[in-house]
Chains A and B, each alone.
Chain A
Amino acid sequence: MSQTPVAPKTNAPSTVSGAQAVVRVLEEHGVDWMFGHPGGASLPLYDAILDAKEMRHVLVRHEQTGAHAATGYARAAGRVGVCTATSGPGATNIVTGLADALMDSTAVLAITGQVVSPNIGTDAFQEADVVSITMPVTKHNYLVREAALIPQTLREAYHIAGSGRPGPVLVDIPRDVLQAQLPASALSEALQTRYRPQVKPDPRRLADAAKAISEAKKPILYVGGGVITANASPALAKLARRCRIAVTVTLHGKGAFDETDSLCLGMLGMHGTAYANYAINDADLVIAVGARFDDRVTGRLKDFCPNARFVHIDIDPSEIGKNKPAHFPLQGDARLTLEALEPMVAPPDTEAWWRQIEAWRARYPLRWKAGKALKPQQVIEAIYKATAGDAIVTTDVGQHQMWAAQFYRNREPRKWISSGGLGTMGFGFPAAMGAQFARPGELVVAIVGDGGFQMTCQDLSTSVAWKQPLKIYIVNNGTLGMVRQWQSLFYNERLSEVALPNPDFAKVAEAFGAVGLSARTGEEMDAAIRRSLEVTDRPVVVDFHVDPEENCYPMIPSGQSIKEMIVGD
C-alpha cells in the first residue's frame, strides 16, 4: 500500500437521481429532521435517505402524525417543518395535517410520492389526485413532471412555505421522476421565484396609525400568532411597556408577550378572560398585530368592539379589513412594522383606562372551585407550577386546551403550540414529538384530552423508539368534554355520544414501552407529576382522572357578544 500518495481524482458524478436531488436540496436548506412513512411510490426517496448526511428521518406510524410533527417542529424551531408520505392513502392521510398548518399559518413542506407518470390518470394502484385534493388545504402545491425541475421546485416550495404568511406547500413527485437522472449542475441553480411578499409598511400610513395610538384614551393591543412568526415580540414589548398599553393575546399569540406581565390581560375570545373581553369591547382603539379577527375571538362581528377604531398590522393583505374595517391598515411584517411604528408613538394617557381595567381584573378573575374530585384546572395549575411555567406546551382541542390556555401562562414565544384554526383533535402529542426534535434539550409537555389522544396515540411507538423524554398529560374526564358542555348548555342536557369508555392509559403507555402513571387525587397528582419529570429516557403518560362535570368558563356562546358572556358558577 506504499503507492505514491496521489490524491484520488474525484470523479464527481455529473448526474444525480431525482430522489438524491430531493435530499441534497433539503440538506442545503439545513433541514435536519424529516417525518414520514414510506411506500411504493416513495421507494426511490427512501433509498436516497439512506445516504443523507445531515438530515435524519423519523419513521412515524401514521402519515397524519408526521404532518403534525412537522408542524410542531416548525412552530418550536421557527423553521420549515418537513414531512413525507407515499402516494394514494399515504398522501390522503396528511390532508388533515396540511389543513391544520394552513389554518394556523405554519411553514410545512410535504413531499409525496406519486405513481409513475404513464400511470397517472389511470386509476393505478395507490393513485390519488393529490395535487387536486390538497389544493384548498395548501398555500401552494406542485406536481413535478421532470427530474430536472426538482431542485428549482423544491427551492421555491421551501421559500413559499416559510415566507410572507407561512403555510404548507406540497410537492408531488412521480416515482419515475424520483428515479430519473438530472444534471448535477441543476443542484446549484439559485432560487428563481416571483413570490416576494411586501414586508415593509407604508410610511404615511405608519404616521396616521402612530397618531391614532398617541391620542387614544382606551387603547389595547390584540396580538396573534403573526407576532411570533415574525419574531416581533421584543418590538411589541417595547411599544406596550413604554406606552403602557394593555395587551391581550389570541390562542396563537400566547407567549408573544409575557403573560405574567401586569400589562397582559391573557387570552381573549370565547373562553378568554372576562377582563380581556371587557377591555377590548370597551376600547376606543384596537391595535391588531398578526391576528385575524377569527370568530372564536370576535363572536358576533357587529357587536365586537362597537366603539373602536382599528389599526390592523398583517403581512397578508387579504386579512386586513376582512372581518372588521381597518381604519389604519398596515400591510407588512409585524417586526418591521412595530419597529418602525414604536418610535413614532407618544405614550397616550391611559391612567383612567387602567383603573377601569384593574377593576374588571379584580372583579372577574379566572377561578375554579376545589371539590372532591380532581379538577382539570387544578391539574393545569399543578403542571404550570411543577414546570415553572417554562415548558414547551402543546395541546389537543377541547376543554383541556382552553383550560391550558387560561392557566398555563406563557412567557416566551414558541413555547405554546396548539391547533387553533382547524381545531384538530389528536394534534397535541405528535406536535410535541416534533417540538422535542426541534429543541432536544428542553422540557416538552403535551396536554391532551382522553378523546384526542386516542386519535394519534399509536405514535407512542415512535416516541419510545427515539427515547423522547416527553410528558403526555391526559386530562381525562371520560367524555368528549367540549361537546358535552355544548350539549349541556345549548341542547337541554341531552347528551349524545359523548361518553368515552376508555382504556387504562397507563397500561397502554407501558405496553408501548413508555412510563404510564395515573392519578385520581391531589396527592397522586403531585406525585405523578414529580415522577414524570424525573424520567429522561422515554415518554411518560400521566392519566389524570378529573371531574367529568366541570365546564369551561368564562364562555361567550358561539355567535354572541360580550353581553351574553357566561362567567360561570
Chain B
Amino acid sequence: MATEAIQPAAAPARRLLSVLVDNNPGVLMRIAALFRRRSINIHSLAVSTTEDPRVSRISMTVETDATETNMVLMQLGKLVEVRHAHDLSEQRPVERELALIKVTAGRDAHEEILEAGRAHRAHALDFTESTVTLEVSGRSAEIDALIEALADFGIQEIARTGAVALIRGTRAT
C-alpha cells in the first residue's frame, strides 16, 4: 500500500464520509454549513439514529481532493456535537444505497424491464398501465449502472437514499 507522502496530489474524487454526532436539533445545519462555506457540494446525505439513541450517524458523499477532505474532517472534529468524523473511501467499506426508479413502460415492455432489473438484483414494487417502479439496493455505482440500463425505456423519476456504509470486519467504524 502506497503511503500518503508518495501519492501524487489527489484529484477531486468521490469521498464517502461518516460522521457520528449528538442527536440534537440543528446538528445537521452545523455540518452542512461547514461544507457550504468551502463550496463543497454534498452529493448525497443519509442521517439516522444509531445503536445509541443519543447518537446519529451522518453518511455523506462529497467530491473533494484529499487535502480538502482532511481539512474538512479536522474542522468537523472541532464542532462540539461531533463525536467522530472520518473518510471511509480508502477503507473499502461495505456500502449500500437504495433507489426507487419509476420507468415509463406500456404492458408489453414490463417483462423486458423486469429482466433488466433482475440482472441488477432489483425488484418491482408497483405496476401501472404506463409505469413500472423498481427497488434496487447496492453500491452507488451499481445503482448508476441500472439507471443507465433503463434509460432507453424512459425514466419518469428517481428517489435515492444516498449511500450508507460501515467498515468491514470486527472493528467499529
Contact = CB atoms under 8 A, between A and B. Distances in A.
A318 B74 contact: yes
Specify which of B26, B30, B78 lies most central, judged by the most chain A CB atoms within 10 Å of its CB.
B78
A322 B71 contact: yes
Contacts of A316: 78
Nearest to A195: B80
* Interface size class of chain B, counting residues whose CB lies under 8 Å from the partner chain: 10 to 19
Contact of A318 (B33, B37, B75, B80): B75
A160 B80 contact: yes
Contact of B33 (A136, A194, A317): A136
Contacts of B78: 316, 318
A435 to B, nearest CB: 28
A135 B71 contact: no
Interface in B8-29: 26, 29
Contact of B37 (A131, A136, A143): A136
Interface string A315-342: 0111000100000000000000000000
Given A194-B83, A322-B71, A317 B77 contact: yes
Interface residues of A, number: 14
Nearest to A320: B74
Given A131-B26, A317-B74, A140 B33 contact: no
A484 B68 CA distance: 36
Nearest to B25: A143
Chain B interface, DSSP helix/strand/loop, else mixed:
helix
Contact of B80 (A139, A143, A317, A322): A139
A119 interface: no
B37 A135 contact: no
A318 B71 contact: yes
B135 to A, nearest CB: 36
A454 interface: no
A140 B74 CA distance: 16
A330 to B, nearest CB: 15
A318 B77 contact: yes
A392 B29 CA distance: 40
A318 B74 CA distance: 5
Interface string B45-78: 0000000000000000000000000010011011
A317 B30 CA distance: 19
Interface string B101-136: 000000000000000000000000000000000000
A318 B79 CA distance: 11
A155 to B, nearest CB: 14
A536 interface: no
A307 interface: no
A132 interface: yes
Contacts of A317: 74, 77
Contacts of B81: 140
A136 B26 CA distance: 12
B80 A135 contact: no
Name which of A131, A195, A317, A318 has the most chain B CB atoms within 10 A of its CB: A318
A66 B116 CA distance: 67
Contacts of B74: 317-318, 322
Interface string B28-41: 01100100010000
Contacts of B30: 135
Nearest to B71: A322
Contacts of B77: 317-318
Interface in A116-166: 131-132, 135-136, 139-140, 143, 160
A318 B73 CA distance: 9
Contact of B29 (A132, A139, A194, A322): A132
Nearest to B67: A321
8 contacts: A135-B29, A135-B30, A136-B33, A136-B37, A160-B80, A194-B80, A194-B83, A318-B75
Interface of B: 26, 29-30, 33, 37, 71, 74-75, 77-81, 83
Interface of A: 131-132, 135-136, 139-140, 143, 160, 194-195, 316-318, 322
Given A135-B26, A136-B33, A194-B83, 6 more contacts: A135-B33, A139-B80, A140-B81, A318-B77, A318-B78, A322-B71
A-B CB proximity, top 9 nearest: A318-B74, A140-B80, A318-B75, A318-B78, A195-B80, A136-B33, A135-B30, A317-B74, A135-B33
